[in-house]
Structure 1
Amino acid sequence: MRDSFLIPVLALLALSACQPVPPAPAEPAPEADQCGATGYRGLIGQPRTVLDSMRFPIGTRTIGPSDAITSDYRPQRLNIEYGSGGLIEKVSCY
């Protein structure tokens, strides 16, 4: 009977010696909208021809479905992509 009391006491003592688990490292914050793409998201779904009368920041790329583009990453560069139907499909920074 004395052994049945001793086992839970020893288990509690063993648990009290455990160290707390450190918190997981925080995930990095998502990158900010460095090129201002959020302000141009209203263009999605509109015909590509609306771009002809607009002004964009220097370096903005208008990319068609068969256009060759460089693969260098520049988060401050605005990219406007349109599909084969001539509608704007994506506005993003890269």
Structure 2
Amino acid sequence: MNIVRLAALMACNAILTGCQPPFGTAQPAGSNAGKCDASSIQTLIGEQASPALLDQARRKSKAAIARIVRPGDVVTMEYNAQRLTLTTDESLEILRVSCG
């Protein structure tokens, strides 16, 4: 009976450990360092995306990182509060500005 209980506890521990974020990725409580805010750059919709505009948008939105996503691009789908995304059409016209 004790072996079954020990095995069950070990299994639960393994499952819960897998749910933890990687070490060092958590932001301190109340910290907004690098947290993206796309509300201030919604005026970029309709503009032509470029590396210079992307960097300017990243700085203005206070995002830590930024990317341009065109139709058909393969992108990671995990949420990242520090990332700015400019979604464009084939001609690099900005269709959507978002964080995450």
Distance in 1 between residues matched to 2:48 and 2:83, nearest whole Å: 21
User: RMSD of the TM alignment (CA)?
Assistant: 1.8
Deviation at 1:36, TM superposition (A): 1.2
Unpaired runs of 5+ residues, structure 1, are: 1-33
- The answer as to 2:94 corresponding to 1:88 is yes
Q: How does 1:4-19 map to 2 (within 5 A)?
A: none
Residue 7 of structure 1 is matched in structure 2 by none
Deviation at 1:66, TM superposition (A): 2.1
The structure that has the greater radius of gyration is 1
Look up the SS of the partner of 1:60 in the other structure: strand
Distance in 1 between residues matched to 2:52 and 2:65, nearest whole Å: 15
Residue 76 of structure 2 is matched in structure 1 by 70
Runs of 4+ in 1 over 4 A off after TM superposition: none
- Aligned residue identity for 1:47: Q
C-alpha contact (below 8 Å) 2:70/2:89 kept by paired residues? yes
TM-score norm. by structure 2 comes to 0.51
- The answer as to 2:50 corresponding to 1:44 is no
Q: Which has the higher helix share?
A: 2
Residue 21 of structure 2 is matched in structure 1 by none
Distance in 1 between residues matched to 2:91 and 2:82, nearest whole Å: 27
- Aligned residue identity for 2:37: G
Distance in 2 between residues matched to 1:46 and 1:68, nearest whole Å: 22
TM-score norm. by structure 1 comes to 0.53
Q: Percent identity?
A: 28
Distance in 1 between residues matched to 2:89 and 2:47, nearest whole Å: 11
